[in-house]
Amino acid sequence: MKIEGKEYRTIWFDDKSQTVKIIDQTKLPHQFIIKDLKTAKDAINAIKVMEVRGAPLIGGTAAYGIVLSIMERNDPNFIKKNSEDLIQSRPTAINLKWAVDRVMKKLSGVNNNELLKVALDEANAICEEDIKFCKNIGLNGLKIIEEIYSKKKDTVNILTHCNAGWLATIDWGTATSPIYHAHQKGIKVHVWVDETRPRNQGANLTSYELNEEGIPNTIITDNAGGILMQRGQVDMCIVGTDRTLSNGDVCNKIGTYLKALSAKDNNVPFYVALPSSTIDWSIKDHKQIPIEERNSEELSHVEGVDENNEIKKVRIYPQKSKSLNLAFDVTPAKLVTGLITEKGICEASEKGLKGLFK
């Protein structure tokens, strides 16, 4: 998708410099900076500090992390250790493990002198596949927006939480892909963007990328969705997911659950958009999902630009106060109207998912 009219992807391998290029998302929306990742440690750090974030993108970054590891030292123990560290770098999104396992499986039994080429081909393939899947999620989700538009004959108001846009994937996004496709078809859409405290991915990233594509959007506080739904100002919700269980339970950015409860109470359809890479077929109970607990400084401090356009961080809480910063929650399948996937839309249930994927 575009930034200042120029097409970008969130990550790519640059043949000339032999580095992995990313858009540093910690600086958005105030500064647009492309950063080089040169080592596996750089990739691990980029995931940890959230220079890259969003389940599919951290999966792609982890895949390139293996490539960088081989470039640094073509030694099986070194590569294995880096693969473990990459998986551990953020615990909740399943895409990390999925991508690392996929590259490592490709490498098994490959001659030392071919490891780099095989890893790079696989990392590129993971990213190309994600783009294709996100595009298909868009085409499938478009049908829901078209249906609402044909009945309403007026702007379709869509609420989203966190950033499940193209910046969270390689391109198109998951939750935003149906929106981009609708906009391109001339359907009038307007997006309610949840600010998404504490890191404000909605305000800083979703609103930013929608603006760059010319899509009308309004930032709201995380607590405003309920009243908008009661007032009939939300036609549907679409969110992303970091881990989808085979029973249809969905783990996503903290606050998603409360939006789903509100949507249920107000008969607002609540959809979750996902590529199959976020499905965790292995665990059955959402209590087994490792929920990332992040530094409490993300709550106690906020970042923005000062009058000189310089990024500044300030404390907003009493110094002595404690805070708890859980990054994700789980929305039970019974609150989800449907899962929008690259293969079609299904019920949020084992039957629904297996019907499409097994």
> Which residues of this protein are in contact with ligand MRU, per CB under 6 A?
53-56, 93, 162, 164, 168-169, 174, 201, 240-242, 252-253, 327
Of the two residues 79 and 138, which places its CB atom closer to ligand MRU in the complex?
138
265 neighbors 234 (Cβ within 8 angstroms): no
Q: Catalytic: 171?
A: no
Of the two residues 46 and 156, which places its CB atom closer to ligand MRU in the complex?
46
| Positive or negative: CA dihedral 154, 158, 164, 167 | positive
Checking DSSP bridges between strand 34-37 and strand 243-245, what pairing results, if any? Answer: unpaired
Residue number closest to ligand MRU, CB atom:
240
Strand partners of residue 2:
7
Of the two residues 230 and 295, which places its CB atom closer to ligand MRU in the complex?
295
How far apart are CB 307 and ligand MRU at their closest, in Å? 28
The Cα 257–Cα 332 span in angstroms is 8
* Active-site choice (222, 242, 249, 329): 242
Residue 232 Cα distances to 24, 236, 260, 303, angstroms: 37, 10, 15, 33
How far apart are CB 110 and ligand MRU at their closest, in Å? 31
How far apart are CB 116 and ligand MRU at their closest, in Å? 28
The Cα 327–Cα 255 span in angstroms is 9
Checking DSSP bridges between strand 2-3 and strand 6-7, what pairing results, if any? Answer: antiparallel
Of the two residues 252 and 331, which places its CB atom closer to ligand MRU in the complex?
252
Phi, psi of 16 (to 5 degrees): -60, -50
How far apart are CB 168 and ligand MRU at their closest, in Å? 4
Short-list 1, 22, 35, CA closest to 212: 1
**Catalytic residue set:** 242
